[in-house]
């Protein structure tokens, strides 16, 4: 069971690591992002939700400095991702959905390669720390090509953590994993936040987002339709109870993130 990080700190103690104001992005004549405005507080998990094509990946790429915005203001860890991208990338970790490991290299050599990019003082020590953290020590000398999907995801997370980032961007971190492997990844994310890190993730799994995220932002066709704590948003927009079938009988419960998503988007992600 996760040590809950899904409640926001008191408003007066909030420190924002991401601030976005009126963000627009055009691809040719198509308007992909349509005036996004939101903030991300330090020390918690924020989930960016939406159907395919809603603008999630574009948003993350702009926040990471991989894509230049069309207009608006974006600040990540006090830096402009576009103008100060090189400086920013030393402070963040990125775990793409398809991590692109070096398949013929061993697990530890993959980590050592990225440790050298960050010019760490003791790359071997850092690689071993991360192998221990993600429980891949016994696979250190195995080729990546031999790993299961769950092990690859844990290696991708270790790689994202190599430079001791203040902020992690995770794109579908548990996609395609069995429940046990997904639970291991969620525990690692939770541990990172307990140690003061901040996570900004995308996911299609609403139940997972509801469990992990102190804040969610829902995109629909490039527009931000709501942003806040999932439980607070449900109380605001979906007062009352709903009836669900559980264990062969009907029970009443408070609406959750699935109902909130349907309320704004009209279908599941």
Structure tokens of 166? 């203040």
pLDDT for 1: 41
The number of C-alpha atoms within 13 Å of 115 and in the hemisphere containing its C-beta is 19
Q: What is the pLDDT of residues 229-253, one digit of tens each?
A: 999 999 999 887 676 667 777 667 7
Q: Transcribe 106-175 into DSSP letters.
A: BHHHHHHHHHHHTT-S-HHHHHHHHHHHTT-GGGTTSBGGG--HHHHHHHHHHHHHTT--SEEEEESTTT
Is residue 254 very low, low, confident or very high in pLDDT (cuts 50, 70, 90)?
A: confident
pLDDT tens digits, one per residue of 51-78: 999 999 999 999 999 999 999 999 999 9
pLDDT at residue 240, as a whole number: 75
136: exposed, middle or buried (C-beta count within 10 Å: 0-12, 13-18, 19+)?
Answer: buried
More confident residue, 240 or 38: 38
Phi, psi at 218, each rounded to 5°:
-105, 125
Using one digit for the tens of pLDDT, what is the confidence trace for 162-194?
A: 999 999 999 999 988 889 989 998 999 999 999
Residue spans per domain, the chain: 14-91+165-229, 102-164
Contact of 20 with 82, CB cutoff 8 Å:
no
Per-residue pLDDT at 97: 81
> Model confidence over 89-147: pLDDT tens digits?
999 999 988 888 999 999 999 999 999 988 888 999 999 999 999 999 999 999 999 99
Q: Exposure string (b/e) for 171-188, b if CB count within 10 Å is 16 or more?
A: bbbbeebeeebbbbbbeb
Looking at domain 14-91+165-229, does it have CATH number 3.60.20.10? no
Query: What pTM was estimated for this model as a whole?
Result: 0.89
Eight-state DSSP code of residue 52: T
């Amino acid at each position: 069971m996760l040590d809950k990080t899904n409640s926001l700190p008191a408003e007066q103690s909030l420190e924002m690591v991401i601030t976005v104001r009126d963000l627009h992005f055009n691809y040719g004549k198509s308007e992909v992002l349509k005036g996004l405005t939101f903030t991300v507080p330090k020390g918690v998990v924020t989930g960016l939700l939406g159907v395919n094509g809603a603008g999630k990946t574009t948003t993350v790429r702009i926040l990471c400095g991989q894509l230049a915005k069309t207009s608006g203001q974006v600040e990540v860890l006090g830096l402009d991702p576009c103008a100060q991208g090189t400086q920013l990338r030393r402070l963040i970790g990125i775990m793409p959905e398809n991590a692109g490991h070096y398949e013929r290299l061993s697990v530890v050599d993959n980590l050592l390669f990225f440790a050298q990019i960050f010019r760490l003082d003791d790359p071997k020590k850092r690689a071993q720390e991360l192998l221990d953290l993600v429980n891949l020590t016994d696979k250190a000398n195995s080729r990546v090509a031999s790993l299961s999907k769950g092990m690859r995801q844990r290696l991708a997370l270790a790689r994202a953590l190599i430079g001791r980032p203040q902020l992690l961007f995770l794109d579908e971190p548990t996609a395609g994993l069995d429940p046990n492997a997904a639970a291991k990844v969620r525990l690692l994310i939770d541990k990172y936040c307990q140690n003061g890190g901040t996570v900004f993730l995308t996911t299609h799994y609403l139940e997972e987002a509801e469990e992990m995220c102190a804040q969610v932002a829902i995109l629909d066709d490039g527009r931000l339709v709501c942003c806040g704590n999932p439980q607070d948003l449900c109380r605001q927009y979906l007062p009352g109870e709903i009836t669900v079938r559980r264990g062969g009988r009907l029970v009443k419960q408070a609406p959750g993130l699935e109902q909130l998503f349907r309320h704004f988007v009209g279908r599941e992600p």
